[in-house]
């Protein structure tokens, strides 16, 4: 059985439109998740270790103030389009759209005020919570009124995140959750002792602004071959890598498929990521630099967390040979990601 509780988390500042931010606590016998109505943020996720003790494995803040200030999308839903769009430009039916540039020459994670920075309308479910919002035509430069539903449900050790959307005009869409994990417990200094594997035969090389070059490259014989588990610290050292921030190409099937596994041998904590999406962005917290104080006023240094963002391939709107990024009126965008937490 999953227990669902709701409580007030805080009040948005007037300059951000005011409004009450609620926190929803989903609790099973093995996992406890806290989710905010601001940005559908996963603010905490507690899971058991081998010792039977619960530990929070998600980076974030203790108070609303942390989330209303600038931060690197801790736990948020990002959209309309997660990841990067080259030069913030795309063309639909001969019409060019220009987005706000918030990542060097590119647009990242929905723009200046994406889905991560707005209040959503919640509805409590038997085993979770569903958030809804209407993104109006022209918001952040995107076409069409977009209705979006994000539903979190918890069953035992499995947290499912379902994304649905409908549009009034053809629009690009790519929704994901941007939680930062450290299975040793948030606030632990690094993720070097984590073992990771990703079910991908190919990945997308990127240019120096992190936009895919268009090549779909085989992982075989490269540092991107994570098909067998690697210990992250040793792997980064072996290949002289600064970290990962790349899309790995998964099987393009609408059915649920395994995308990645992570294990933390010292505590026995493990997680699996399953999805219906064709890609997953593996990011090792390369831009964390101890300047942000998180929960318990702990600084978050470089490589102190990883993200596994299930997604369509970055810049797919400008790459015709990438999976389709457009949602048409009358169709429904519908994807699910399952995060499975256990002790191994």
In the set 22, 139, 140, 309, the catalytic residue is: 309
Paired tokens of 268:
């026995």
245 labelled binding-site residue: yes
67 labelled binding-site residue: no
246 included as an active-site residue: no
Dihedral over Cα of 96, 102, 106, 107: its sign: negative
309 included as an active-site residue: yes
Cβ proximity of 43 and 60 under 8 Å: yes
**Region at 192 (left for phi over 0; alpha for psi -120 to 50; beta for the rest):** alpha
The residue with tokens 């209705």 is 147
303 labelled binding-site residue: no
CA distance 170 to 167: 7
Q: 64, 46, 63: which is closest to 55 by C-alpha?
A: 46
In the set 178, 264, 303, 335, the catalytic residue is: 178
Q: 245, 170, 177, 236: which is closest to 39 by C-alpha?
A: 177
Q: DSSP string spanning 183-201?
A: TT-TT-S--TT-EEEE--S
179 labelled binding-site residue: yes
Q: 262, 80, 63, 64: which is closest to 180 by C-alpha?
A: 262
Paired tokens of 58:
């998600």
Burial of 123 (0-12, 13-18, 19+ CB in 10 A): exposed
Catalytic positions: 178, 309
Annotated binding site: 83-84, 178-180, 245
Annotated binding site for beta-D-galactose: 83-84, 178-180, 245
């Amino acid at each position: 059985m999953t227990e669902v509780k709701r409580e007030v988390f805080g009040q948005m500042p007037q300059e951000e439109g005011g409004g009450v931010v609620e926190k929803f606590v989903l609790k099973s016998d093995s996992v406890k998740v806290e989710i905010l109505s601001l940005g559908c943020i996963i603010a905490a996720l507690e899971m058991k270790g081998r010792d039977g003790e619960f530990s929070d494995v998600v980076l974030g803040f203790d108070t609303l103030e942390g989330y209303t200030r600038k931060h690197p999308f801790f736990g948020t839903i990002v959209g309309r389009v997660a990841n990067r769009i080259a030069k913030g430009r795309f063309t639909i039916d001969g019409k060019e759209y220009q987005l706000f540039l918030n990542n060097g020459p590119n647009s990242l994670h929905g723009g200046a005020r994406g889905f991560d920075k707005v209040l959503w309308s919640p509805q409590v479910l038997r085993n979770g919570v569903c958030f809804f919002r209407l993104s109006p035509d022209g918001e952040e430069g995107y076409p069409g009124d977009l209705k979006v539903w994000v539903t979190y449900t918890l069953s035992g050790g499995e947290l499912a995140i379902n994304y649905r959307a409908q549009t009034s005009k053809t629009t690009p869409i790519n929704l994901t959750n941007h939680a930062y994990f450290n299975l040793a417990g948030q606030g632990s200094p690094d993720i070097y002792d984590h073992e990771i594997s990703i079910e991908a035969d190919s990945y997308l090389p990127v240019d120096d602004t992190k936009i895919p070059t268009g090549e779909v490259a085989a992982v075989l014989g490269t540092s991107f071959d994570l098909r067998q588990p690697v210990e992250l610290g040793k792997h980064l050292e072996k290949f002289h890598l600064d970290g990962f921030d790349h899309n790995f190409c998964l099987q393009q099937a609408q059915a649920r498929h395994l995308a990645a596994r992570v294990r933390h041998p010292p505590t026995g904590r493990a997680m699996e990521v399953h999805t219906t999406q064709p890609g997953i962005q593996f990011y090792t917290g390369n831009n964390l630099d101890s300047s942000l104080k998180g929960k318990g006023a702990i600084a978050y240094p470089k490589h102190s967390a990883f993200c596994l963002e299930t997604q369509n391939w970055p810049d797919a709107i400008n790459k015709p040979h990438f999976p389709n990024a457009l949602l048409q009126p009358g169709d429904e965008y519908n994807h699910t990601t399952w995060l499975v937490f256990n002790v191994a």
